[in-house]
Amino acid sequence: MATKQNKSTSKALVLGIDTGGTYTDGVLLEYHERKVLASYKSLTTKQDFSVGIKNVIKAINIQDPAAIQMVSVSTTLATNAIAEGKGKQVALFLIGYDPELVASFKMQKAFATPHFFYFTGGHDLYGQEKNDLDLPAILEKTAEIKGQVDAIAISSYFSPLNSEHEIQAYNAISQVCDLPIVLGHQLSTKLGSVERATTAALNASLIGILKDFIIAVRHSTEERGIDAPLMVVRGDGTLMSDEFAARSPVETIHSGPAASAIGGRFLSHQDDALIIDIGGTTTDFALIQNGDVEISEEGATVSTYKTAVKAAQLLSIGLGGDSHIALDREKNIAIGPARVVPLSYLAYQYPQVEKGLKPLAESSFPPISPLWLEHWFLLREPDEEQKTKRARENDLIKILREGPKPVPELLKELGLLHQSQLGVDELLRQEIIGVAGFTPTDLLHIDGRHSPWNTQAAIYGLDILSNYLSWDKAGITEFIWSHTTEIIIRAILVFLNDPKHQPTALLSNSFSHWFFNNSINPAHPQLETSIRLRQPIIGIGAPAKIFLKDVADKLHTNLILPEHYQAANAVGAIAGSVMVEEEILIYPHLSKAGLDVIGYYVQASNGRQEFDELDDALNHARTQTEERALNAALRSGADNPQVTMEEISDGLDTYRIQAKAIGNPRLKR
């Protein structure tokens, strides 16, 4: 699916790659002219990401690999691993946390790992030690679990104010254990103890996964003769070196959608716009204001886990080109949120699928249930660790080795009455078994707007749905597209009215419901209503033109589809800047009675120092914060970074000294 061929070789070529849930996109850009020379889309290969990446690099057809001066990648890998529960096993050591308090507020599930353990220690709000650190208990637990987990995360109570116990625990554990160890205070200076512990646990669970991904990218580029710095997109759209990403993979949460927003702004030259990225799996929303992506300072949320990681303010809904079109319990047409392989693609890979659908589509009585459109197929053989002892799962795998099967046929062969009896969620989660069904992509095959695969299978799918519902095919098609438009507009209203995207009262009463419906599909003979979006919509992703035209029309705004909008996320992977933020806290050292100030602590990620005078503490903190931000930006691949400083007073002689170092990514010399 090449959109443009390589035109020329330049001295400053950079390669951007985005690995999404459905597609892997790549672009070749002349960096100084900011001009896209080539772009390509390939299906993502989840079992081995390097395959999809190699396909993209090969198709772009880089004439002189030595001319590539930087490679940058954005990825949904971290977000998906968290959402799907596929992170590595982590032991979370909680120092100074109150087990009863955690239990009373039911916060156990927030820790992102079932393997959490409490230890005596921790500090208070003034950085004073609450209890002695119980190192013997920590070492005993380490010896017990080190063969059962892949990493260890440590979070001590109020560690941003005093990190001594986390550092002591790290030093002791690292002497007896070679597992990766993550410290909470190094990931966040925020005082929220649960969010910091969650962030540490998630970071530990992702280290091995992102390391493997970076190795895969490296191998893919090296095979094509590319030797250049490798950058990774953070969740706020900025870039970091692969070395930093390997240490702090949790910062890549929302990396893919953030890259889409950056790419959309870069290609459209719009400083104020609503970015909507239509993928195969999800539709993502982001807002550009004054040229910047709106950032969530409260921390990114993935699945049910709230983190302390700064990321782009986004909304993601389960709607895309490969959303499953099926019937709900009331036999109404529903779209998504599940993503399935389109019937047209499955039949393209397995021609017998089309042959099986033909007699079903030609049968008018009794009408064939649309459940026959849902096919299961074997994605891969389970490895030794994934092999199951459950007879039903083994029987299912054996049947699917013969090829894809519709669900009713599977039930019959297994002697079951209902799909819920299959009980193979783990095989689906591990992507050993895949699911195919009728999707918007199949509708695009039928009307000829996008038909690279088996169009006849898609036609049979619509025939079966039409026969079952006794509804003409044109009516079904019109309903699906209008319902898709309505879903997107509802999501826009929620996103723009409630930045936290919590359930709102926006459309909860009868009047607001009527107003919305009458604005989207005018029906009242006397009353005309409308909703107008002030900013233009920038469409991103291959289906954007099809999905968003009616959305823009009904919101009375412009739809902008910039050149290369199909691969704007890959453009965003190389259009961002390198940014590093450092923060040092200053707070008073109080006497034991808590009445007198006897000094001032300066707390940094590597420890704290004490000063007698506030001015000395502030001057030291200013110097250290600036130096640390500058050095970190240079190590993270910034070219000539510039540092800005901010001093925030939290009252009672407590300060936060913040430094932000920003620069363009450093190209290969």
| pLDDT (mean) for 188-195 | 85
Residue 473: partners with Cβ closer than 8 Å, 6 or more residues away? 462, 463, 466
pLDDT at 669 over 80: no
Q: What is the pLDDT of residue 482?
A: 93
pLDDT at 10 over 60: no
pLDDT at 555 over 70: yes
Mean pLDDT score of the chain, rounded to an integer?
A: 88
Element (H, E) at 571: helix 568-575
| Greatest CA separation for the chain | 90
DSSP output for 430-473:
TTSEEEEE--HHHHHHHHTSS-SS-HHHHHHHHHHHHHHHT--H
Local structure of residue 223 (DSSP, 8 states): H
Phi, psi of 493 (to 5 degrees): -65, -45
Phi, psi of 253 (to 5 degrees): -55, 130
Q: What is the pLDDT of residue 599?
A: 93
| pLDDT (mean) for 107-125 | 90
Q: What is the pLDDT of residue 387?
A: 60
Local structure of residue 119 (DSSP, 8 states): E
Q: How far is CA 386 from the centre of its chain?
A: 25
Beta bridge partners of 72: 16, 231
Q: Which two tokens stand for residue 510?
A: 């009868």
Digit-coded pLDDT (tens) for 494-549: 888 875 555 455 566 688 888 888 888 888 899 999 999 999 999 998 889 999 99
> Cα–Cα distance between 431 and 376 in angstroms, integer?
11
Q: What is the pLDDT of residue 7?
A: 42
* Residue 2 confidence class, pLDDT cut points 50, 70, 90: very low
Q: What is the pLDDT of residue 616?
A: 96
Let me know: does 29 contact 571? Beta carbons within 8 Å.
yes
Least confident piece of the model among 190-204, 231-245, 279-293, 497-511: 497-511
Whole-number percent of the chain with pLDDT over 90 = 53
Let me know: does 90 contact 115? Beta carbons within 8 Å.
yes
Q: How far is CA 392 from the centre of its chain?
A: 33
Q: What is the pLDDT of residue 9?
A: 44
| pLDDT (mean) for 305-326 | 86
Local structure of residue 668 (DSSP, 8 states): P
Q: Which two tokens stand for residue 631?
A: 């050095």
What class is the 90-205 domain?
A: alpha beta
Let me know: does 368 contact 469? Beta carbons within 8 Å.
no
Q: What is the pLDDT of residue 593?
A: 74
Q: What is the pLDDT of residue 507?
A: 62
Digit-coded pLDDT (tens) for 446-501: 999 888 999 999 999 999 999 999 999 999 999 999 999 999 998 899 888 875 55
| pLDDT (mean) for 397-421 | 88
Instruction: Return the domain boundaries, the chain.
Output: 90-205, 323-477, 578-665
Digit-coded pLDDT (tens) for 89-106: 999 999 999 999 888 888
Residue 328: partners with Cβ closer than 8 Å, 6 or more residues away? 334
Q: What b/e sequence results for 449-467 when a residue is b if at least 16 CB atoms lie within 10 Å of its CB, and e otherwise?
A: ebeebbbebbbbbbbbbbb
Phi, psi of 271 (to 5 degrees): -95, -15
Beta bridge partners of 30: 13, 35
Residue 629: partners with Cβ closer than 8 Å, 6 or more residues away? 580, 581, 582, 643, 659, 660, 661
Report helix, strand or coil for 502. coil
Digit-coded pLDDT (tens) for 137-184: 999 999 999 889 999 999 999 999 899 999 999 999 999 999 999 999
Q: What is the pLDDT of residue 88?
A: 87
Let me know: does 588 contact 653? Beta carbons within 8 Å.
yes
pLDDT at 25 over 60: yes
pLDDT at 77 over 60: yes
Least confident piece of the model among 50-59, 160-169, 618-627: 50-59
Domain 578-665 falls under CATH 3.30.110: yes
Q: What is the pLDDT of residue 328?
A: 87
DSSP output for 376-394:
EEE-S---GGG----HHHH
Cβ count within 10 A of residue 156:
31
Instruction: Report the predicted TM-score, pTM, of the whole model to 2 decimal places.
Output: 0.82
pLDDT at 312 over 80: yes
